[in-house]
Chains A and B, each alone.
Chain A
Amino acid sequence: MSGPLSAGRAALQLIRRDLHLALRRPGEWLQPLGFFVIVTALFPLALDADLSRLRDMAPGVIWVGALLSSLLALELLFREDGQDGSLEQLAVSGLSLAWLLLAKTCVHWLLTGLPLVLVAPMLATALGAPAAALPGVLAALLLGSIALSLIGAIGAALTLGLRRGGTLLALIVLPLAVPVLVFGAQATARAIALEPLAGPLYLLGALAVLAATLAPLAAAGAVRISLE
């Protein structure tokens, strides 16, 4: 008989499981992406299509769109695992629950955060951002989306036991996401104006690291309470 798996390999197994499941149901994680694309495409239709005005609005449009679409995806994060008893099994697996939830959040980001990052340059171009701005837009959204997924994990864990947690989830997550929104939009605005943007990018990076450190612990605590 073989000994217990190392924490790293166990997390890898869990990541593989969630990717397997996601591939069987692509609709679930493609929907938030579609939402993001459509919301950002609606702004030029509602406002007049003056390119310089769109360019000024682009950071706000992209970031609010990304925030709302990541919120939309959050309900998928732990709900099903809570209902079918998988979370219970993870909690008594002898492995750190926070670590396993971090692994789950990584998959969630890969499926719902990374696609936003990848389509963002296209949307930014459509909103009038110059080509030279795109690496900055991409970097800001990359760091920001990581932080948003992690912060969202806390909210998803806290609303796990509720039948209709969607609205409460938004009320919990959105205020926590404000710093990410502020610095993300600022970094994007500077990128589009072709100004140096290292400052807000560093802050976004710090927020992502802070969230990666604390959010899994908070989520694990909340999941344990919901299992009681």
Chain B
Amino acid sequence: MMLLSADNLHLWRGEQHVLRGLSLRLDAGECLQVTGANGVGKSSLLRALCGLLPLEEGRISWRGQDMRRDRPAYHRELAYLGHATGLKADLSAAENLRFSAGLRRALSAAQIGAALERVGVGALHARLVRQLSAGQQRRIALARVLLCDCALWILDEPTANLDGRGQGLFAELLQEHLQAGGLALVATHQPLNLQDPRVNVLELA
């Protein structure tokens, strides 16, 4: 049994038929990279898989059960990172994590500090997010994904605004997540450069 499977997904955005009968399967330790031209529906696919967009047709199953039957249980195992980072500009990096990832599970200051350290912005923990660069904000958002401690990652352009080292760091984090038995769906144009070959590429057209 696959952990995540989607069958025959159909999705319309306005007049545009974005997904036409798309199916995908993902099991523990596997990563699916979603690529395709701009506007082809990568973000829509990811948002639909998160349950944020209603499908016209099709079925998404998590652990063999239709996701719509128990959405909260599915969401508790899902960490989503979208275009908007979901960070509050007027809170510090550490406060942001305390109040976002901390909404899902109890976190100590040490855990938050360690996560910020892991994504390379440990020294910025007390700075307000509005004073940080877009790339630094992305890193904090990645720290949130780490802290959520979820099996399934759905990440939309996680390496946007990241410098070369940041992209290397992301590949490392992803690799660790997959090796620990996690699943990941990543929409990105850049090659993921994992040493582990288990990255399937889904090209939308």
Contact check, B89 vs A228: say whether CB atoms are below 8 A apart.
no
Tell me the dominant secondary structure on chain B's binding face: loop
Chain A residue with minimal CB distance to B92? A20
Which of A33-41, A80-88, A134-142, A178-186 interfaces with chain B? A80-88
Contact check, B88 vs A21: say whether CB atoms are below 8 A apart.
yes
Interface positions of A from 1 to 52, Cβ below 8 Å from B: 1-5, 9-10, 13-14, 16-17, 20-21, 24-25
Q: Is B83 an interface residue (CB 8 A)?
A: yes
Beta-carbon contacts of A197-213 to B below 8 Å, as 1s and 0s?
Answer: 00000000000000000
How many chain-B residues does the 8 Å CB contact rule pick out? 33
Q: Is B73 an interface residue (CB 8 A)?
A: yes
Q: Is A96 an interface residue (CB 8 A)?
A: yes
**Residues on B with beta carbons closer than 8 Å to the beta carbon of A89:** 80, 86, 100
CB distance from B58 to the nearest CB of A (A): 16
Contact check, A83 vs B106: say whether CB atoms are below 8 A apart.
no
How many chain-A residues does the 8 Å CB contact rule pick out? 32
Bound form: Cα–Cα A5–B95 in Å = 17
Contact check, B99 vs A17: say whether CB atoms are below 8 A apart.
yes
Q: Is B168 an interface residue (CB 8 A)?
A: no
Contact check, A14 vs B52: say whether CB atoms are below 8 A apart.
no
Contact check, A2 vs B78: say whether CB atoms are below 8 A apart.
no
Among the listed B77, B78, B84, which residue makes an inter-chain contact with A88, where contact means beta carbons less than 8 Å apart?
A: B84
**Residues on B with beta carbons closer than 8 Å to the beta carbon of A25:** 90
Contact check, B80 vs A20: say whether CB atoms are below 8 A apart.
no
Q: Is A91 an interface residue (CB 8 A)?
A: yes
Q: Is B87 an interface residue (CB 8 A)?
A: yes
Among the listed B86, B99, B106, which residue makes an inter-chain contact with A2, where contact means beta carbons less than 8 Å apart?
A: B106
Bound form: Cα–Cα A89–B104 in Å = 11
Interface positions of B from 181 to 200, Cβ below 8 Å from A: none
Interface positions of A from 100 to 141, Cβ below 8 Å from B: none
Bound form: Cα–Cα A5–B99 in Å = 12
**Residues on A with beta carbons closer than 8 Å to the beta carbon of B127:** none
- A94 and B76 contact, Cβ closer than 8 Å, known pairs A4-B105, A21-B91, A84-B89: yes
Contact check, B52 vs A227: say whether CB atoms are below 8 A apart.
yes
Chain B residue with minimal CB distance to A25? B90
**Residues on B with beta carbons closer than 8 Å to the beta carbon of A93:** 75, 103-104
- A91 and B52 contact, Cβ closer than 8 Å, known pairs A2-B105, A10-B104, A85-B82: yes
Contact check, A92 vs B80: say whether CB atoms are below 8 A apart.
yes
User: What would be 18 A-B contacts, judged by CB atoms less than 8 Å apart?
Assistant: A1-B149, A4-B104, A5-B104, A13-B102, A14-B99, A16-B99, A17-B95, A20-B91, A80-B88, A84-B86, A85-B86, A86-B100, A88-B80, A88-B82, A92-B78, A93-B75, A93-B103, A94-B77
